[in-house]
A and B are shown apart, each in its own frame.
Chain A
Amino acid sequence: MSIDKQDVQKIAHLARLGLSDQDAEQYHHAISSVLDLVEQMQSVNTDGIEPLSNPHEATQRLREDIVTESDRREAFLKNAPQTEAGLFLVPKVID
């Protein structure tokens, strides 16, 4: 499976990375070589083998339904680029 430069722009858009044409060219090369590297997987027969997403195949632990946290808004907002009235501000969202 290979990708072209347009694919790179499409992926970059999905990942919200703004690439110039020149960037896209460079990344096209870099991503293609990674994809070539992983291509060797395709020759392995994995029929009937279950995907392994966690090394221990452990199961989820459950948390009691208790409110354990109190308001720390001030501390949490400190790192934000822009805030007002306790809200995080972003450029206008148009629905």
Chain B
Amino acid sequence: MTTQSIAELSQQLANKEVSSVELTKDYLARIKQHDGALNSYITVTEEIALAQAEYADKLIQQGNTSPLTGIPVAHKDLFCTDGVLTTCASKMLHNFVPPYESTVTQRIKSAGAVMLGKTNMDEFAMGSSNENSHFGAVKNPWDLTKVPGGSSGGSAAAVAANLCVAATGTDTGGSIRQPASFCGITGLKPTYGRVSRFGMIAYASSLDQAGPMARSAQDCAYLLQAIAGFDHNDSTCSEVATEDYLAGLDQPLNGLRIGLPKEYFGEGLQEGVAVAIQNAVKEFEKLGATVVDISLPNLQLSIPSYYVIAPSEASSNLSRFDGVRYGYRCEDPKDLMDMYKRSRAEGFGKEVQKRIMVGTYALSEGYYDAYYLKAQRIRRLIKEDFVNALKQVDVIMGPVAPTTAFGLGAKTDDPVAMYLEDIYTLSVNLAGIPAMSIPVGFADNMPVGLQIMGNYFAEAKLLNVAHQYQLATDWHQQTPNLAEGA
């Protein structure tokens, strides 16, 4: 089965060249065939998918459709789905069936899309390799010995392997962009507040943002159009009006000013990645853009700032998992304290427990000012860097990650080394601006992602820039060779 865009599939569905049920069955068959090796899904919702596909076909018969009607998609397993297991890849929620639907999945459902299942991830979205999953690591479809990136690794791998047309992800410090980069797909982290967080199981509330992961910028635009916009259930969701993300895609890039921050091209950047990025920038120049050298002087500080703020918020956000109302409770607790301590120690994985403890420490009496408040002050410096830079340029470009996908297990012994790899993505979340990852080539046979960062609520601009590049190149159409049964 060749990969096709949402626009193409939508056209074929409308022309009755294929039905949604047929399409859905194809994808379910592909999942059966390949996901044993990839482990990109935690739950495959076959029955729901077929029922939704049937319903979509009815809507198509009636001509009552949206561009997503009948399109098979997958959701990261931290979006609450009514009546469907939602685990956050944690033993803590191994049996949690939400009594409600998240805003993101509801909107995609309302647009007529078909849910194939829930994708694997790093537990509670904490990780950059998808090795921190209670349900096992996800493999990179380009090389099964490599990680897909994280935390939305299941979504990235599933899209790359064409086990769904598109997927949802969430990005707290790079969790959409980095796996998109590692798996050679397109991913967008919208502006903080562009998409509702209601029903998204929180990692770090002031950084978390949901976004689309798909083959192309155009596909991402279709998904963003469905999910973006105000939601009265989320106090942090913005009332700024959404744009027509598709209408702007065709704008030419003449006169586009691209900022290249020198901090993104320094030590530690893998040579092949640097080359791919430089080539991509040249391509943009051919499309009429000009390049400006800029600086984001506090970039380095995004690592300490993030690794204080995110764990602090997480330590509080994850307190609700206490074995009382849902989720894992230890066997035969001898008293209340024992129930709390064993349920949480047995229910959470090591990385999650570590971050909870780091955050607990950072917020504790006597350390709050030196850690939490200090990190929030630095956060302002980082935001100001972007605000100033974006006065000079329209978009900022650089690599998503210093390297291509690394080997499974290669960094599990040294998590701090893995934290350092987040250097190019964290600052975007701290500032709250939107950013994309698009595939721009390969280094050592693994995909390389270009990061495009823009101003607050400039998603339409980012998608336009990415789309123009994708019209001129075909990196986004490259697909991994999946062996039979692998």
The residues of A with any CB-CB pair to B shorter than 8 Å are 1, 3, 7-8, 11-19, 23, 26-27, 30-31, 33-42, 44, 46, 49-56, 58, 60-61, 63, 72, 75-76, 78-82, 88, 90-94
Contacts and interface: CB of A to CB of B under 8 A. Distances in A.
A91 B341 contact: no
12 contacts: A17-B345, A27-B353, A31-B354, A38-B304, A42-B374, A54-B432, A76-B325, A79-B96, A80-B326, A82-B329, A90-B324, A92-B335
Given A15-B344, A78-B97, A34 B377 contact: no
Interface string B318-347: 010011111101000111111111101100
Contact of B339 (A1, A49, A90): A90
A1 B367 contact: yes
Given A52-B380, A92-B336, 15 more contacts: A16-B344, A23-B345, A31-B357, A34-B358, A37-B303, A38-B308, A41-B374, A41-B378, A50-B377, A55-B383, A55-B432, A56-B238, A79-B326, A90-B339, A94-B336
Contacts of A91: 333-336, 338-339
A63 to B, nearest CB: 7
Given A49-B381, A63-B232, A30 B354 contact: yes
Nearest to A59: B235
A51 B369 CA distance: 10
A14 B360 contact: yes
Contacts of A12: 357
A44 B358 CA distance: 21
Given A11-B357, A15-B356, A18-B342, A76 B324 contact: no
Contacts of B348: 17
Interface in B153-175: none
B345 A18 contact: yes
Nearest to B321: A16
B344 A40 contact: no
B301 interface: yes
B295 interface: no
